Copies of this chain bind each other. A is one copy, B any other.
């Protein structure tokens, strides 16, 4: 069960405003999309934009309105199954694999659904008694973080959808302002790749997990001790130039550096490079939300699977960090978004930024934003973890198997959604997330 965040104790009106801001942010993300874009499901893991828009609304309707309103009359009874993602406690969800077969409700109807539920939620927030408020506010808070997750997924998923089109259409007109390039593009630079810079991490018995202040998901608790071994972390995320060295050194052909399962997938699917890299006669191109463009050597490599991250690390005679190592380092940094250089969705770049060059002493750079960083940690429960009761208990705990933890958020995450203790997780073969690499040793 999510803890009640401090903002809940502010005036209700501020909370309503925050509700509106987060909901509007999702719609802003969808603004550049055509109706056609909002319908397609390009693979099982991807959901249509329209589905995301409806599902996040369903969350508020089903988990809040329907429970807190007497004789609740649903907006449309059919939506209950159609837009349930995986909450078995709330009836049988409409098959995930078939989300892309639905053409109705139309995009316009889904926006109508959003407006209606927003109206009802805001009225409820303003009018409920204090006892209800204490029950409702944490659920709304959870729903807003859920909304932010889906905002990120809308961008992640539409990038995959658009990439399936040989026309390589852009998501928006000139989505990201390029901040200038320092290196040669799309080929192993004449400028040699600099060696990895390392910084020392803290070791010994360390505290890990959320301390209870502000919102956190249940999987970040309880805060507990772990024994962290002496280690170093790379100061930067791995860059395209570094990854290109790996490729050109036969990284995708050398079984001995791969996990067995990863090798089988890489061979079967013909992996030769990160997901959105395209080899042209004049060098490597990369598909971005702004369309196809030459590969930028000094940006963090993105859209690699855990298997590729682990093979790269092995090739570099290093390894991936554990999530404890990552978290202990992150805890020393300013909060996500507080640094002007953090690259989150709010900045509108929607692509990892150039590797930062400033002298930085002993602190790692670009931990927050840019790319989610794969850790070597299998996603599991913290000691003493207990999932929340009821449907919201299905949020995290039941996925604690065969997935790996990623940390730090990416260029399509919201800054206000990320924390040092935040645990994202995906199967080791997933590549369509904005996922990158930070080495450890």
Binding site for B on A (CB under 8 A): 34-40, 42, 50, 78, 81-82, 86, 88-89, 94, 98, 100-107, 161-162, 164-167, 169, 205, 224-227, 229, 255-256, 258-263, 306-307, 310, 319, 376, 378, 380-381, 383-384, 393-394, 398-402, 428
The reply to whether A36 and B104 form a contact with Cβ atoms under 8 Å apart is yes
Q: Could you list some 8 contacts between A and B, CB below 8 A? A: A42-B101, A102-B164, A103-B161, A103-B165, A256-B393, A258-B398, A376-B381, A402-B428
- Tell me, in angstroms, the Cα distance from A88 to B267 when the chains sit together: 13
Instruction: List B contacts of A35 (CB < 8 A).
Output: 35-36
The reply to whether A384 and B261 form a contact with Cβ atoms under 8 Å apart is no
The reply to whether B428 and A166 form a contact with Cβ atoms under 8 Å apart is no
Q: Which residue of B39, B78, B98, B106 is within 8 Å of A103 (Cβ)? A: B39
The reply to whether A167 and B36 form a contact with Cβ atoms under 8 Å apart is no
Q: Which residue of B81, B101, B319 is within 8 Å of A164 (Cβ)? A: B101
The reply to whether A103 and B40 form a contact with Cβ atoms under 8 Å apart is yes
Instruction: List B contacts of A306 (CB < 8 A).
Output: 401
CB distance from A172 to the nearest CB of B (A): 14
CB distance from A319 to the nearest CB of B (A): 8
Q: Which residue of B39, B169, B225, B399 is within 8 Å of A104 (Cβ)? A: B169
The reply to whether B255 and A227 form a contact with Cβ atoms under 8 Å apart is no
The reply to whether B376 and A380 form a contact with Cβ atoms under 8 Å apart is yes
Q: Which residue of B38, B376, B381, B398 is within 8 Å of A260 (Cβ)? A: B398
Q: Which residue of B42, B88, B101, B164 is within 8 Å of A165 (Cβ)? A: B101
Instruction: List B contacts of A105 (CB < 8 A).
Output: 167
The reply to whether B101 and A399 form a contact with Cβ atoms under 8 Å apart is no
Instruction: List B contacts of A101 (CB < 8 A).
Output: 40, 42, 161, 164-165
CB distance from A33 to the nearest CB of B (A): 9
Q: Which residue of B255, B383, B401, B428 is within 8 Å of A401 (Cβ)? A: B428
CB distance from A218 to the nearest CB of B (A): 15
The reply to whether B102 and A165 form a contact with Cβ atoms under 8 Å apart is yes
**Max chain B C-beta neighbours (<10 A), residue from A82, A105, A167:** A167
The reply to whether B165 and A400 form a contact with Cβ atoms under 8 Å apart is no
The reply to whether B255 and A78 form a contact with Cβ atoms under 8 Å apart is no
Query: A39-B36, A165-B102 are contacts. A226–B227 as well, Cβ < 8 Å?
Result: yes
- Tell me, in angstroms, the Cα distance from A162 to B104 when the chains sit together: 9
Q: Which residue of B38, B166, B262, B376 is within 8 Å of A78 (Cβ)? A: B166
Instruction: List B contacts of A102 (CB < 8 A).
Output: 40, 164-165
